[in-house]
């Protein structure tokens, strides 16, 4: 029995390479060399976990228009124009205009430098991809087309690292644009900061917000069989260390709700889920609302972020971090440790099990603080080492912003209360960091992911058209 991660939609990258056709009869060896470079670029791109739609090599404006139509129909998430030598802007303008996708221009010459003693004009032309880059930039700006560029040489790993960031960012943008985001239940009373207009999500990020009710889950819980429940308990015992505080009845209930959550996600084709339901006096809806944590954590580990307290923007931030390969766990501030110089943060509830420092613990709780009900909760510490916080803020005018901060999870004492607590060192006074983080416009939840990811989030923000605020006091 295994916890199988979902297979996300592959990022689709459109590639068009080009050079000025007037050169080919003048320098017969040039075009074959440039086409070989184009094949190398296509090969490297194909190794970056993306689907490459190669529109071939264009030599004039007519061929550029044909490539533009091919890539428009393909529905690409990112368009890459490879400037192999000089070419006119009219050759790539239709590609950029028609695709509806972000544009990345590559200027990758064959090697680090020319051999000035032996090169003739034809050999030099293979190195002058930089020449048309300012022309493209000027023309695209006048056409109203946003673009970004990477300059280097074919085997320049620094350049390929930057290219891969753009491809990852395009994948994040596509996940949001094609995403279906579940919003189940109702807002936690009084949490003004987490309230989000679903229309703003579709307007600014794309995708669809599916409004769900607690009964959509209740009816599925009632249909889960005892055998399915037992199988989910067995899976949970493999994934978690089960603390002696866990009551068998509560464990089975969490497992039953977990199976139902899987069906809910499948039936509504959800990519994320944010939920909250208060309930009353132990009735069915309260028990369903209290039974989320196990199933939501398993969903999150599989690549379907699920969060409590109706925190739609944080489920989206977790999706961003997950698709960057950083995990992304539901997090809030818990306490400041001025003696050790760390900020303690985490949450009672859903967690990204894939970034736990060790086998996560399932703990039984007789009460969920601030919430109705009781049951099982997840306890772990995020892997020690570099981490990034990522949240989706919202301004007064409704505009979303990305907010991030890089730190390091360090070892030390943690509470044993069924929370996902981690000690994060931001390299400064914990109080000063907390004041700066709070002043950024972040809500009181965010995603905590592994690795330092600001460089990748910078690319994500660019493609989404959002401002990125990095907190680093």
- Is position 207 within any domain? yes
Q: Is the pLDDT of residue 10 over 70?
A: yes
The overall average pLDDT reported for the chain is: 96
Pair (289, 430) in one structural domain: yes
Pair (208, 155) in one structural domain: no
Pair (158, 201) in one structural domain: no
Pair (194, 125) in one structural domain: no
Where does a domain end: 130, 155, 176?
176
List Cβ neighbours of 364 (8 Å cut-off, separation of 6 or more).
243, 245, 246, 247, 250, 251, 375, 376, 377, 418
**Separation of alpha carbons 114 and 303, rounded Å:** 46
Pair (361, 310) in one structural domain: yes
Q: Are 186 and 277 in contact (CB under 8 A)?
A: yes
Pair (133, 39) in one structural domain: yes
SS3 60: coil
**Structural domain span for residue 404:** 179-470
Pair (168, 194) in one structural domain: no
Within 10 Å of residue 144's Cβ, how many Cβ atoms? 8
Query: How many percent of the chain have pLDDT more than 70?
Result: 99
- Is position 2 within any domain? no
Give tens-digit pLDDT for 120-138. Answer: 999 999 999 999 999 999 9
Q: Are 447 and 330 in contact (CB under 8 A)?
A: yes
- Is position 4 within any domain? no
Token reading at 40: 């190398």
- Is position 337 within any domain? yes
Give tens-digit pLDDT for 425-449. Answer: 999 999 999 999 999 999 999 999 9
Q: Is the pLDDT of residue 352 over 90?
A: yes
Strands (E), 277-430: 306-307, 327-337, 342-346, 361-365, 375-379, 385-394, 400-410, 422-425
**Separation of alpha carbons 210 and 364, rounded Å:** 31
> What's the confidence (pLDDT) of residue 1?
46
- CATH code assigned at 81: 3.40.50.10940
**Separation of alpha carbons 92 and 68, rounded Å:** 8
Mean pLDDT of 91-111: 96
Number of folded domains that form the chain: 2
> What's the confidence (pLDDT) of residue 2?
61
**Separation of alpha carbons 286 and 291, rounded Å:** 9
Q: Helices (DSSP H) in 144-224: which residue ranges?
A: 157-177, 198-204, 214-222
**Separation of alpha carbons 236 and 291, rounded Å:** 14
- CATH code assigned at 199: 3.20.14
Pair (185, 170) in one structural domain: no
Pair (254, 331) in one structural domain: yes
Q: Is the pLDDT of residue 72 over 80?
A: yes
Pair (412, 437) in one structural domain: yes
Mean pLDDT of 298-323: 97
Q: Are 384 and 409 in contact (CB under 8 A)?
A: yes
**Least confident range of 112-126, 309-323, 358-372:** 358-372
Distances 411 to 209, 342, 344, 426 between C-alpha atoms, Å = 39, 10, 11, 14
- Is position 56 within any domain? yes
Within 10 Å of residue 283's Cβ, how many Cβ atoms? 10
Give tens-digit pLDDT for 166-215. Answer: 999 999 999 999 999 999 999 999 999 999 999 999 999 999 999 999 99
- Is position 256 within any domain? yes
- In which element (H, E) is residue 236 found? helix 226-239
Token reading at 350: 């859903």
**Separation of alpha carbons 173 and 168, rounded Å:** 9
Where does a domain end: 176, 211, 243?
176
- Is position 370 within any domain? yes
- Is position 240 within any domain? yes
> What's the confidence (pLDDT) of residue 214?
96
Give tens-digit pLDDT for 30-65. Answer: 999 999 999 999 999 999 989 999 999 999 999 999
Pair (312, 299) in one structural domain: yes
Give tens-digit pLDDT for 215-238. Answer: 999 999 999 999 999 999 999 999
**Separation of alpha carbons 29 and 23, rounded Å:** 10
- The dihedral built from the CA positions of residue 16, 20, 24 and 25, taken in this order, carries a sign that is positive
Pair (205, 92) in one structural domain: no
**Separation of alpha carbons 73 and 263, rounded Å:** 34
> What's the confidence (pLDDT) of residue 348?
84
Where does a domain end: 118, 146, 176?
176
């Amino acid at each position: 029995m295994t916890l199988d991660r979902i297979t996300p939609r592959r990022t689709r990258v459109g590639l068009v390479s080009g050079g000025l056709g007037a050169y080919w009869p003048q320098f017969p060896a040039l075009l074959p060399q440039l086409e070989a470079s184009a094949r190398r670029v296509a090969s490297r791109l194909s190794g970056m976990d993306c689907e490459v739609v190669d529109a071939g090599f264009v030599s004039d404006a007519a061929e550029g228009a044909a490539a533009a139509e091919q890539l428009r129909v393909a529905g690409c998430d990112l368009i890459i124009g490879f400037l192999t030598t000089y070419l006119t802007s009219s050759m790539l303008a239709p590609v950029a205009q028609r695709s509806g996708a972000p544009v990345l221009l590559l200027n990758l010459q064959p090697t680090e430098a020319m051999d000035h003693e032996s090169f003739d004009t034809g050999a030099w032309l293979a190195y002058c991809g930089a020449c048309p880059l300012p022309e493209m930039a000027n023309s695209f700006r006048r056409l109203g087309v946003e673009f970004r560029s990477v300059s280097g040489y074919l085997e320049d790993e620094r350049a390929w690292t930057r290219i891969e960031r753009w491809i990852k960012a395009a994948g994040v943008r596509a996940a949001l644009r094609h995403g279906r985001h579940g919003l189940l239940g109702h807002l936690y009373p009084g949490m003004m900061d987490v309230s989000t207009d679903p229309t703003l999500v579709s307007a600014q990020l794309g995708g669809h917000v599916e409004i769900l009710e607690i009964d959509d889950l209740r009816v599925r819980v009632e249909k889960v069989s005892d055998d399915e429940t037992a199988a989910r308990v067995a899976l949970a015992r493999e994934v978690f260390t089960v603390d002696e505080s866990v009551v068998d009845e509560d464990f089975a209930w969490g497992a039953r709700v977990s199976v139902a959550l899987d069906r809910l996600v499948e039936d509504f084709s959800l990519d994320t889920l944010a939920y909250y339901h208060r309930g009353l006096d132990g009735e069915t809806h309260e028990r369903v609302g209290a039974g989320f944590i196990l199933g939501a954590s398993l969903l999150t580990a599989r690549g379907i972020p699920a969060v409590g307290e109706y925190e739609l923007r944080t489920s989206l931030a977790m999706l961003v971090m997950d698709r960057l390969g950083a995990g992304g766990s539901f997090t809030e501030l818990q306490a400041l440790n001025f003696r050790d110089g760390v900020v303690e943060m985490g949450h009672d509830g859903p967690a990204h099990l894939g970034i736990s420092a060790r086998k996560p613990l399932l703990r039984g709780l007789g009460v969920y603080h601030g919430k109705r009900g009781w049951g099982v909760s997840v306890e772990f510490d995020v892997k020690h080492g570099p981490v990034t916080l990522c949240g989706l803020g919202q301004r007064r005018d409704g505009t979303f912003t990305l907010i991030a901060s890089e730190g390091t999870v360090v070892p030390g004492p943690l509470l044993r209360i069924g929370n996902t607590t981690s000690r994060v060192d931001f390299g400064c006074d914990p109080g000063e960091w907390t004041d700066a983080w709070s002043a950024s416009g972040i809500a009181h939840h965010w995603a905590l992911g592994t690795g330092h990811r600001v460089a990748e989030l910078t690319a994500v923000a660019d493609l989404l058209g959002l401002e990125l605020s990095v907190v680093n006091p």
